[in-house]
Structure 1
Amino acid sequence: MSGSRDNTVVEPNWSGWNRQRLTQVPAGVLPWLRDEGSLTRRVVAACSGRFRVRLLRQAWGTPFYSEAQLLRMRRGEMALVREVELLCDEVPWVFARTLIPASTLRGAARRLTLLGDKPLGAVLFSDSRIKRGRTQVARLQPRHRLFSAASVDLQPVPDELWGRRTLFHVSGRPLLVNEIFLPRIPMEKTS
């Protein structure tokens, strides 16, 4: 199997809102996907119990094909990959995968390597040097690697998950945040 064909099999079809059929998105997930504020802040507000971030993994790794394209990374270039769950009363509501190219981790941005179990959103939405770029959404299915990473601890494993990814710029340099909404997140009414 050729490299490009393999990548199309394992990646969801990310698209902007203008190309996404909103009728496919479950109504209760739509407000979560469309929100442009801090997801951490919104989850904390919706969680009537104890909120926390669980760090699953943080290590240097190779981005997925579409992640590398969006980050404009060269083939083989490494990024810091951070995977966490946002929990309410120890129940995972969101799986997040952040990719920070090595070239982004200069100067004050190096502090992003030290977050541990602290929420990234607290940094992204409080630093004026960080600018939010475009957001894409996708329906994730079991054949997608990101679906597998997000659902590894879910029982039963759902048929699909919905997520978004947002490109941020730290002093002009990119970082990518994938946020996958898990089945136990409260479904919200659309406005």
Structure 2
Amino acid sequence: MPPASLAHPPRWLNNAQLHPAPAPLQRDWLFDQGSLTRRLSQLSQQQFSVLPLQQGWQVLRNDECAALQVPSGSQGWVREVFLRGAEQPWVFARSVAARSALEGSGFDLGKLGSRSLGELLFSDRAFARGELQVCRYPQAWLPESVREERLWGRRSCFWRDGLGVLVAEVFLPAFWSHASNR
């Protein structure tokens, strides 16, 4: 069985559905509507970087297809990165867009390199952000180097003219350790 399939996929919940509520610090970061890149840059005193892990065309997971409103088994562009602060991975981010919507959209996710997708999405006023949802992110979906159970993840979809870009961000223990000391 491929690592992308789980017997019990996560249930993504909005702020009102989440019970019990996470601690105030966690809730603040999970449901913040602003640019995570900007916030991480401030927290790391501008020692922020993006470390690309992998990108390319893949079959999207079922939860991603549902969020992007495309048929199960659809192909899409997948980009996985670490958002790093103070030289450590703080957030694992996975961004996906359906091939059917991406081709011909003029939006090229493949050329981002080590630039932040979040900065691009927040600077393009044509994109509208959908609702933030959170879950305990499946350990099997994380890169091996940061694989841990019960890490908080969040996701939202950015929409522009029929193009949806689903961005999931998983907060790693090193991030919470740094954030709680500030």
TM-score, length-scaled by structure 1: 0.83
Among all aligned residue pairs of Structure 1 and Structure 2, give the percentage whose two residues are the same amino acid: 35
Q: Determine if the alignment matches structure 1 residue 21 to structure 2 residue 19.
A: yes
Instruction: Say whether the 8 Å CA contact 1:29–1:188 is kept in structure 2.
Output: no
- Post-superposition CA distance 1:84-128 (Å, at most 9, x none): 000113210000000111123224313x22101100011100111
1:160, CA displacement in angstroms?
1.6
- After superposing on structure 2, the runs of 4+ consecutive aligned residues of structure 1 that deviate more than 4 Å are none
**Aligned length in residues:** 176
| Mapping of residues 6-155 of structure 1, within 5 Å | 9-23=7-21, 25-48=22-45, 50-105=47-102, 106-110=104-108, 112-140=109-137, 144=138, 147-154=139-146
1:118 is aligned with what amino acid? R
Instruction: Say whether the 8 Å CA contact 2:52–2:80 is kept in structure 1.
Output: yes
Unmatched segments (≥5 aa) in structure 2: none
Taking the aligned partners of 1:132 and 1:99, their CA distance within structure 2 comes to 14
1:44 is aligned with what amino acid? S
1:53 is aligned with what amino acid? V
Deviates more, 1:91-100 or 1:61-70: 61-70
**Which of residues 158, 161, 180 in structure 2 aligns to 1:168?**
158
1:150, CA displacement in angstroms?
2.7
Q: Which has the higher contact order (CA 8 A, sep 6+)?
A: 1
TM-score, length-scaled by structure 2: 0.87
Instruction: Say whether the 8 Å CA contact 1:109–1:170 is kept in structure 2.
Output: no
